[in-house]
Amino acid sequence: MALLLSYSLNPSSSSSSFFFGCPNVLTALVPKPRTRLTAKSRSLCRASWQELAGVLIFSAIPFTAVKAIANSPLGESLQRRMEQTKKFAVGNSSKFKALAKKARKESMWYGEERPRWLGPLPYDYPAYLTGELPGDYGFDVAGLSKDPAAFQKYFNFEILHSRWAMLASLGALIPEVLDILGAFHFVEPVWWRVGYSKLRGDTLDYLGIPGLHLAGSQGVIVIAICQALLMVGPEYARFCGIKALEPLGIYLPGDINYPGGALFDPLNLSKDPVAFEELKVKEIKNGRLAMVAWLGFYSQAALTGKGPVENLLEHISDPFHNNLLTIIKSM
């Protein structure tokens, strides 16, 4: 994700209008072929040891800060305050879970009457898929969900990867759209070329802000270390479960996939159990779509060497000559 957000603005480019004075808006939206980055002989780690140490320390700050607060008098005070309100919060959480269970029974997306992946076609669906979890359409041709413990584990992994795929899709699409529309001019807006430029040793401005390098001036090895350190805290919390934040005085009323509370549900979208159960289904459906979309991103990058938005605009402008069949035929 850090690479997807590490773009640099091109100050020599000027904005241009794509919507006025152009007879064909769609043609104008299709970007012109980009010139290849000039070759530079740079090492994968060309920063000084002071910069390297600064980046590593900065990456370790979140995890160390949480541990320090938890073991401090402030952490003890927060824990005591949480214990005073935890009993009431646990009672409310139990009531909400009972209402959520009732909402699932009455919802069309759960239970035996839920939609199936083959629709009205007759099929012997697995008996162990009962529709208790969101997004259960009875699809398990490989029998991976026969073991209830494995089924729950796979569901946890699917939710996790779905959310990452949705976030990564935004990181891949938005910079390219902004560059094509002329809102910003990035040196390299195409998602896969950003990683390639780092392999070449290029310096990138974080979030497109000139001079804000952070890890953008480092090599891929340093960036990998930074990401590993930044993920220590979240992965540790996920491993420990929803009680991982209680040393900081934070009680989470939900479960590992839907923790809830002010920290993970600031808009209070889960206040209505019926709507919340439906939102779970919408999330997993959009997450699956995002994961499939990334297969398309990878394939398009390998076959065309272009970004997904550029491929889409070219296809819309001339669908008979810009499609999968013509690309394969030209290989």
3-state class (DSSP) for residue 246: helix
Question: Residues 291-316: what's their mean pLDDT?
Answer: 94
Distance of alpha carbon 315 from alpha carbon 312, whole angstroms: 5
Distance of alpha carbon 190 from alpha carbon 186, whole angstroms: 9
Determine contact, residues 100/276, Cβ cutoff 8 Å. Answer: yes
Distance of alpha carbon 159 from alpha carbon 250, whole angstroms: 23
Question: Residues 182-211: what's their mean pLDDT?
Answer: 77
Across 38-52, 85-99, 196-210, least confident range: 38-52
Residue type, position 12, single letter: S
As a residue count, the chain comes to 331
pTM of the entire predicted model: 0.77
Top-confidence residue, 58 or 30: 58
Residue type, position 204, single letter: L
Q: Using alpha carbons, list the distances in angstroms from residue 11 to 105, 187, 201, 272.
A: 57, 9, 20, 48
Distance of alpha carbon 177 from alpha carbon 310, whole angstroms: 9
Percentage of residues in the chain having pLDDT higher than 90: 42
Distance of alpha carbon 283 from alpha carbon 266, whole angstroms: 17
Question: Residues 186-205: what's their mean pLDDT?
Answer: 80
- The pLDDT tens digits of the residues spanning 58-77 come to 767 777 787 888 888 888 89
Distance of alpha carbon 9 from alpha carbon 44, whole angstroms: 22
Neighbours of 221 (CB within 10 A): 11
Strand partners, 9: 186
Neighbours of 193 (CB within 10 A): 19
Distance of alpha carbon 262 from alpha carbon 284, whole angstroms: 22
Distance of alpha carbon 124 from alpha carbon 252, whole angstroms: 40
Residue 47 has pLDDT above 70, yes or no: no
The rounded radius of gyration (Å) of the Cα atoms in the chain is: 24
Q: Which residue has the tokens 């270390």?
A: 225
